Amino acid sequence: MDDLTFLRKRRRSPIFSISVNHNIKYFILEPVVMERILLVTVYPNLAELKLFNFEQQIASKYFTRLSLCDLPSTTFYSSILTHLCIMVETFDDCLYLLDGRLKQLATFNVTVYSIDSSSTIVHNTDMLPNLNCFSLKSYFQFQQYEQIPLLLRRMPYLKHLTLYLCIKDRNRIIDGTCVQNDILVHIPQLHSLTFYVSSYIDIRDLSHDLSREHIQQTLINIGQQNAATTVNYLSMYTAECSIFSLPFAFDYLPCLGNIFPNIVFNYVTYLLVEDNDGFKHEFFVRIARSFPLLKYLRIFNIEPQVLADMKLSSDHSQSYSMIEYPHLTSLDMSHGHQDYLEQFLNETKAYVPCLTELKALYPRLKIVTNNFTREETRRNCAKVKQLIFFEQLDNVQDYYHYFPLL
């Protein structure tokens, strides 16, 4: 008899709470039985819970992003919890969880929605001697970078560190020298560092030009030979510089420009491409090769596609290779030139067999599809189930015939 069958048979027995629940330290559950098992009794020694087949609608029913502000320290407390993976509202919430209420915590993986919205509350700043594995991710740009080194200095025995940070409004990039002086020097026992750190800076405030080679050298100088650098000019005054460990370990890459290293990003499913200069057809060839599991793509580039022979045309005599994106399900063109809409919808240039969501400007979509009659763009539109526009629409029947699965 397996454990789950045993639990089902004994759930109403008064002996159950005495003989079984005190011994349970670890659960692996499906959502359909989660509620029945977790509510049947108290599990005082439960230290780890894993859920599988956990879909989005189930998550929205049972979980929200945790916020601990203004709640007492007894609200979220455990003297035995050793592993915690959680998403919180602010950086304050992260600090609350490390204020002593989880004294035995050894592994802490936290995703913070907003770091800049944190308050000036003075939290417990005691050392965290038991913490040996820490992961901090924040996918939105923030200014308060100085909060991160202050927290990491409380973890002198840390062995494994993961960071995903997007920092804005600085007059200095985060390079290898900053990583060494702000972080590594305070964690002498660190064995592994997995990171993606992106800096958005105003280049008018820089006293020197950005050099990818120089930034790469600062990583080599601190022993990070397996790391890469990108420098991307987003506008006349703004540049984005990223440093990241290899192999790239994250599924989200928020800013990639025309120039990027020849790396295969095996885990990336969500990608934003953005540049001050127009993209070429060859750029999208490289995207398909470098991001084999790409599912969500957003293009932010109002410049037309480079090279005159790549402009909108039904002339099949042009010379270019057809690109396949086998897993792409969502394409956001709301901030992209119509040339890039043509690049993806024209079947002689691209094949997107799984595309089910398309976000675009309605007038540009009409032009590219020739008022929803063009044969070269029909196949790549055939499976789209959701169109997202921002404008007033005219004759909706036109595109309903063109997108039969809407």
Q: What angle do CA 6, 7, 9 make, to 5 degrees?
A: 65
Mean pLDDT, the chain, integer: 86
Query: Which one is predicted more confidently, 233 or 51?
Result: 233
pLDDT digits (tens, 9 = 90+) for 199-247: 999 988 776 668 999 999 999 999 999 999 999 999 889 999 999 999 9
Sequence-separated contacts (24+) of 141-147 with Cβ below 8 Å: 141/166, 141/167, 141/168, 141/200, 142/114, 142/115, 142/116, 142/166, 142/167, 142/168, 143/116, 143/167, 143/168, 143/169, 143/170, 144/91, 144/115, 144/116, 144/118, 145/170, 145/174, 147/91, 147/115, 147/118
Using an 8 Å Cβ cutoff, are 6 and 33 in contact?
A: no
Sequence-separated contacts (24+) of 18-21 with Cβ below 8 Å: none
- Tell me what the mean pLDDT of segment 8-34 comes to: 62
Query: Which one is predicted more confidently, 60 or 242?
Result: 242
pLDDT digits (tens, 9 = 90+) for 143-195: 999 999 999 999 999 999 999 999 998 888 999 999 999 999 999 999 999 99
Q: Which residues contact 39 (CB under 8 A, 6 or more apart)?
A: none
Among 4-13, 76-85, 264-273, 313-322, whose mean pLDDT is lowest?
A: 4-13
pLDDT for 256 beyond 90: yes
- Tell me what the mean pLDDT of segment 55-67 comes to: 59
Using an 8 Å Cβ cutoff, are 75 and 52 in contact?
A: no
Query: Please, which pLDDT band fits residue 312 given cuts at 50, 70 and 90?
Result: very low
Looking at residue 3, its pLDDT comes to 43
Q: State how far the Cα of 341 lies from the Cα of 160, in Å rounded to an integer.
A: 42
All structural domains of the chain with their residue ranges: 64-249, 251-406
Looking at residue 18, its pLDDT comes to 46
Looking at residue 64, its pLDDT comes to 53
Strand partners, 196: 164, 244
Among 8-12, 75-79, 184-188, whose mean pLDDT is lowest?
A: 8-12
Q: State how far the Cα of 175 lies from the Cα of 183, in Å rounded to an integer.
A: 12
pLDDT for 317 beyond 50: no
Query: Please, which pLDDT band fits residue 57 given cuts at 50, 70 and 90?
Result: low
